[in-house]
Amino acid sequence: MIFTQKVVDATQVKFAALLEKAGEVKKQEILACLEEAKKTVSEDVIFAIQWIYANSPLSDMANYDFDMFKTCAEHGVMLRETSPFAKDLPEDIFLNYVLHIRVNEEELCDCRKLFHSLLADRVNHLSMHDAIIEANYWNCENVMYQLTDIRTISALGAYNSAYGRCGEESNFGVNVFRAIGIPARQIYTPRWAHCDDNHAWVEVYCDGNWYFLGACEPEEVLNKGWFTNASSRAMLIHSRCFGEIEGEEIISKVGMASFLNNLKLYAVTKKITVVVKDEDGNRVPGAQVAFGILNYSNIFNAAVMTADENGEASLTCGLGSLNIHVKKDGKYCEKLIFTPDQDVVEIVLKTEPIVHDEWQQFVTIAPKDQIVNGAKPTEEQKELCAVKTTAANAKREQRVVDMFDADKANAIVAKYGYSQEIYNVLFDSRSNMANLVAFLEDENYDAHAKEMLLLTLSKKDRRDVNIEILKEALDLTKDFTYEDEDLFYKYVVCPRAYYEPMCKSRQFILDYFTEEQKAAFKADPKSVWTYINETIGFDPTIEYGQITTNPIGALTVKNASPLSKKILFVAICRALGIMSRINMLNQLAEYYVDGAFVPVEVLEKGNCTIIFEKESDETFLYYPDFSIGLLVNGEYQTLDLENEKWDGNQLKINVTSGEYRVITDNRLPNGNLYANKYHFALAEGETKTLKLEKYQANLAEMLDNFALDEFKVHDEEGNVVLGSELTKNKAILMWLEQGKEPTEHILNEMLDQEGDFQELPADIIFMINGKGALENAKVQKVLATFPKIKVYYDSFVPNVETLARRMYVDPDKLPLVIVTTKELNAVYACSGYNVGSGDMLVKICNNF
């Protein structure tokens, strides 16, 4: 056997314990599958299956077929036996970072054999280092960055779509590396300290050490990504591990996952120890200690620990501000600290009186930019990377073109009388187009019904929905009657309740319950919720995070998270023809009665109203400008108001009574935050009107004047143009790296703030490194939107490095953006990825 006896013995115990918690039905199903598998696979594969199960959330066992785990185990064992990269790895590294099927919270899929078949021959003859570099070019050939919703699509879904947000790109990248035998893990900064966002990327294990790289963002060296400087300013960077691992700092364990602290690879760090005491000076073991980062006007708990037997909790963190929140036995308190000033933080656990109805100002400080590990490619490597990345982008773009058949889409719309929206659905579907075409052409179903159903789905659903789920939804609702067609399709026919992976469950639900039970549920939808809570428990120690158990799994293993129970409630109700939903504002499960949705969960307090007000010239966006949280069990739970719209200068929301906290913030160019908080209490039925206020910093005090050296660029005819000529008027100078995520981001912000940039009292000047940049779709869109933009040509060498270093920003990160107020006089610069930079440019240009 290729696995050590110690690991085998420990796995057998852990696997048996998880099986016992899975319920008798699932237990016998898994055992029967294992017995059948033993007829065709080796004992190493059987062990690998058991290890994956034993080190995965119970929901994975409940949600996915045995064959997926078997296939992954077979592939992993093959790699251990034959891969030049995997056969000599430490056992714990191989198990956790090559064999394991799960990366984080993504939908699982059977992808490893496919990725191996497409890539192995390209890399197996290379050194491990070079194989990693080459594999990331392949990643770039197949997936690029694009913002999407919070559901994390599977690695196959990203591959078939050719895009994903950073969490999806990195999940895809990790799966690709593991598929060829290279250990890999997804790395997260839960929130940046210097800008309002988070990010995910990849670490790979190469020749005994971990290195970082951007997912689908190839470089010719490891330990380099656009985020290198940003990560050096992080307060915390972590990863998840589902099995036992040695030599890592474990922050905390959340269900089946250990959170590992990876910050030391990226930033200057220090250890902060929190000591919790009661009012008599005694230490308090078992208190919850949360380390929070202010981001998006919200204090996000980046790490949550339990104080040890000495009442202590320690964290290795960056050199900036942290909000320490402690609670136990109904008492809670918090303290804002600046980590460079303290090694030990003593917290007295007592609930302090809340100051109501006044704004309180506070400031958080972001760490300075201090790179710990950052490789610098040579000029030759940069040139080679540019050539290979251009070729990779071209391959991917051609893949995308080949995915969509416009003639076919138009023909289907015309033949069946679909609206233009169906053409858009097919355009969005990418590689899923053939499946949706088959559904749309299936004449067993009414064309109008098919269109109504498809339009209830998200854009992401269009890329990976299984049409058998759609067919079941139509088959089992066709005899229902309804008064409001839109509500019927959205809240009965639609198979999606929240952001969960969808599955076929209606027929299972209808067969699962007796006729008497179903009649009782229809008569009183609240009885569905009562049934769920009486028959299905939740053991968080065998689950993880936001992974949900699907309705069939929940009814089978009798274990489901609170969110999974709400999804099950909606699934049961819709199977029975009861309109139901999960309210996106407060995540409450609701059903429709007497013309309105009402929560099925018992609410202790009545409805209230909050009316936010602002000045007509102010912009207050929910995230990043303000947030509101409700005090629940000693912590503020942030409300989701992203879909709520301002009506003029008012934003009205309906909430329950209770204690609330509003936070507004003002992000400064140096990354620090000037923030305001406001506490108030709402009694039952009360209305509260609150005018939002920001803690305004003096922009002039934050900026400085920097004299730039003369520099040269060229116009379209090749004539030299001096920097002094470009900056005679107030100007924004941008050196763009078309097609790269940081450049795409600032261009998107310009488009999102079109009105502001159209009226900007400054010249906008793009510097590009060749006419090929003008072929980029996003660049074309921006130039079409803002025809006054001037375009010049520059090789970027040496201008970018010289100017960036003068402005104290990273010369290796693009885009480089510089604001000048007069000839060769700069007041502000940023480089690389900076969320909110568009808003900052508008502020500076309008105030100087």
Per residue in 18-77, pLDDT (tens digit) is 999 999 999 999 999 999 999 999 999 999 999 999 999 999 999 999 999 999 999 999
The answer to whether the peptide bond before residue 353 is cis (omega within 30 degrees of 0) is no
Strand 687-691's sheet: what is its strand order? Answer: 650-656, 607-613, 687-691
Band (pLDDT 50/70/90 cuts) for residue 507 is very high
Average pLDDT of span 629-639 = 93
Average pLDDT of span 429-454 = 97
Cα(139)–Cα(156) distance, integer angstroms: 12
Cβ partners under 8 Å of residue 301, min gap 6: 290, 291, 292, 325
Position 358 pLDDT exceeds 90: yes
Angle in degrees, 0-180, between the axes of helices 420-428 and 433-441, rounded to the nearest 10 = 150
Position 126 pLDDT exceeds 80: yes
Which residue intervals of 501-561 are DSSP H helices?
506-512, 515-523, 526-535, 551-557
Q: Which residues pair with 650 in a beta bridge?
A: 613, 647
What is the predicted pLDDT for the residue at 251? 93
Q: Which residues pair with 66 in a beta bridge?
A: none
402-435 in b/e form (b: 16+ CB < 10 A) is ebbeeeebeebbeebebeeebbebbebbbbbbeb
| Residue pLDDT, tens place only, 763-775 | 999 999 999 999 9
Cα(368)–Cα(698) distance, integer angstroms: 21
Tell me the two tokens of residue 208.
């005994």
Cβ partners under 8 Å of residue 408, min gap 6: 426, 433, 437
Position 669 pLDDT exceeds 80: no
What is the predicted pLDDT for the residue at 26? 97
| Residue pLDDT, tens place only, 75-113 | 999 999 999 999 999 999 999 999 999 999 999 999 999
316, 270 in Cβ contact below 8 A? yes
Cβ atoms < 10 Å from Cβ of 353: 5
Place of tokens 């299936």: 442
Which residue intervals of 235-338 are DSSP H helices?
none
What is the predicted pLDDT for the residue at 1? 86
What is the DSSP-derived secondary structure letter of residue 98? I
Mean per-residue pLDDT of the chain: 94
| Residue pLDDT, tens place only, 423-438 | 999 999 999 999 999 9
- The three-state secondary structure class of 721 is strand
Nearest alpha carbon to residue 108 among 755, 662, 550? 550
What is the predicted pLDDT for the residue at 605? 58
